Structure 1
Amino acid sequence: MNTTAPVGSGLFLGLLLIGNSAFAADNRISASIETVEVKHNGETVIIQRGHDRGATLPEIFQKSERGCPPFCIQPMEAAPGVETVGELEVLDYLSRMSKGDDRILLIDSRTPDWVMRGTIPGAVNIPWNRINTDTAGTFETPTEAEGLVHILADEFGASYDPANETWDFSNAKTLILFCNGIWCPQSTANLQTLVELGYPVHKLKWYRGGMQDWVSVGLTSVKP
């Protein structure tokens, strides 16, 4: 009786077993990144990929049809000169922030009711309507103007000259904005407003995929 296995079958079986073992034992973010440690509300959070092979998207992100407007598919470029980034770039900025770089701010542009369902560790919530309180983009009422001045000066690090009504962004932070996903216009609107105000485009980044892409690849999220 010939007990010799077909050529290559043993090698295939061995690779399959090794591959399954490695697959079960490791679930890296990328080939060079295993986890990323960040600070969120003063607590240390480890961002990693999920290890549940049967995991599915949260129900709120399973919906594929949304009315346009307002939920229109966004372009690849939120505003001319603003860089569009992905998950690995966001993680790099978060890593730099956790190591003490206070010149970077990751901003969740969604309203608090969405943030309560989960956000990216290390992000701060500045709802889109705190910047775009006037949807026409005019910021004509005193209350709206004062609120915008507060955000730009106290949270973004810009300085305002009331005499000349001009902004100095030389010490302003690098901002990475995101919202729910490629169908969400909130962070896009904020970025366009900031560009119109003179915020340097090289200090503005857009995570276009937002929370839907973040959870779709199994990355850690946190709830307040």
Structure 2
Amino acid sequence: MPGVERAMKRTEPRRVPRPVEGAPGLVEVDATWGTIQPMTVASGVRTVGEAEVIEHLEQGLPMVDSRGRDSYEESTIPGATNVHFKETAARLGELDREAPTVFFCNGPQCGQSPAAIQALIEAGHSPEKILYYRGGLHDWMTLGLPVASDDTSPGGEPS
């Protein structure tokens, strides 16, 4: 972005907010990594916020965490399954093509779910069945919403 400078990147960025020890409800955020993603990732794909994600989960609809396995195992949105963004097209058959599915990654500066969505569309998946949660785990955690580790998430089957 011309004329807008972000904080200098750290050598070892922390891509997911972490709780501040001894201060329930407080999280530490590293704002030095990634590339800011657009609100709209592809024509026909709807960008959603937390209220829509919560409603989606309450309806038992699918959510996909597009991050790597290690990140997913550390923390994810409860109920999400893991399909690494680089494997999305190859694992298209595992997705319910009729159900609207939310895709997310680390947050507004992470390109993993946009890459997964692009791969899905190129593989013939209907963009109207794809929902993009741009805020990702970053915004989810900063709003104090619950997270799960792989062993506590209903979608925690190995990928």
> Same-fold call, TM > 0.5?
yes
Structure 2 CA distance for aligned equivalents of residues 123 and 185 of structure 1: 18
Cα shift readout 1:45-96 (whole Å, capped 9, x = no counterpart): xxxxxxx985211x4xx11112xxxx21000001111000001101111011
- Residues 17-59 of structure 1: CA distance to partner in whole angstroms, max 9, x if unpaired? xxxxxxxxxxxxxxxxxxxxxxxxxxxxxxxxxxx985211x4
| 1:37-186 equivalent positions in 2, closer than 5 A | 55-57=25-27, 59=28, 62-66=29-33, 71-97=34-60, 104-131=61-88, 148=90, 151-153=91-93, 155-158=94-97, 172-186=98-112
Q: How many residues align?
A: 129
Where in structure 1 are there 5+ consecutive unaligned residues? 1-51, 98-103, 133-147, 159-171
Larger helix percent: 1
Gaps of 5+ in 2: 1-21, 151-159
> What is the TM-score with the length of structure 2 in the denominator?
0.75
Measured after TM superposition, the shift of residue 202 of structure 1 is 1.1
> So what's the TM-score if we normalise by structure 1?
0.54
Select 1:194's aligned residue among 120, 126, 130. 120
2 CA distance for matches of 1:87 and 1:157?
A: 22
8 A Cα contact 2:92 2:120, kept in partner: no
Cα distance in 2 for partners of 1:185, 1:72 equals: 7
What one-letter code is carried by the residue in structure 2 that aligns with 1:188? Answer: P
Q: Which has the larger radius of gyration?
A: 1
Tell me, in whole angstroms, the C-alpha distance in 2 between the residues paired with 1:87 and 1:53. Answer: 23
Q: CA RMSD in A?
A: 1.8
Displacement of 1:198 in angstroms is 2.1
